[in-house]
Structure formats: structure tokens, C-alpha cells
Amino acid sequence: MSTRVLDPSRQHIVLRVAAALLGGYAFAWGFIALGTSALFAAGMPFHDAEFLSSMLGILAYLAVFLWVFAVPGLRRAGAVLVGAGAAMAGLASLLQHTLV
């Protein structure tokens, strides 16, 4: 059995798992970053903002992880997660810039 050329469906599985794990991680990171900076900017104590965002971020990771396996379009799913994650992280850094 040749292992160099992956079965299209096996390759698809690998990509979908990668999208769920890595895309999901990027999304969660952005979510936590934006949550922390936005809540802190709104006046919540820092460690509270950090904790609440982390807690909700983990639940968000779970949700998008499941979502990636439920939706038909793999490329769109991956792009949405990475894009949204990057956008949220970008906003977080912007907010940080205005505060520090």
C-alpha cells in the first residue's frame, strides 16, 4: 500500500482534523485576547478579565471544534476560524496599544 499518495478521503480527514485543532486554537486565542483586553478596558479587574475570557474561550474552542466536523465546506471552515481568530487578536493588540 503506497503511503506517499494519500487516499483523497484520508487526506481530507487529516485536513479536517488540522482545521479543527489548529483553526480552533487560533480562534480561541483571538477570543481570549480580545476578551481580556476588552473587559479590562471596560473596567473589569485584570485577572477577572483574563479568567472569564479563558473560561469562555475554552468553551468557544469546543464549539468550533465540533462545528468544523459538522459543516460541509472544509476550506471555508478553516478560513473562517483562522480569519476570525486573527481579526480578534488584531483588535486586542489595538486595544492594548490605546491603553498602554
44 in helix, strand or coil? coil
- Taking a C-beta distance cutoff of 8 angstroms, is the pair 70, 20 a contact? no
Choose which of 22, 54, 83, 91 interacts with other proteins (CB under 8 A): 54
How far from 44 is each of 48, 91, 98, CA to CA, in Å? 7, 18, 16
The cell for 18 is: 488540522
Cβ-based nearer residue to other proteins, 29 or 83: 29
Nearer to other proteins, 5 or 100 (CB): 100
Residues 84, 90, 95: CA angle, nearest 5 degrees: 125
In the complex, least distance from residue 4 CB atom to other proteins, rounded to whole angstroms: 21
Q: Is 37 in the site for other proteins (CB under 8 A)?
A: yes
Of 23, 65, 80, 81, which lies in the binding site for other proteins, with binding defined by CB under 8 A? 65
Least Å distance between CB 92 and other proteins? 7
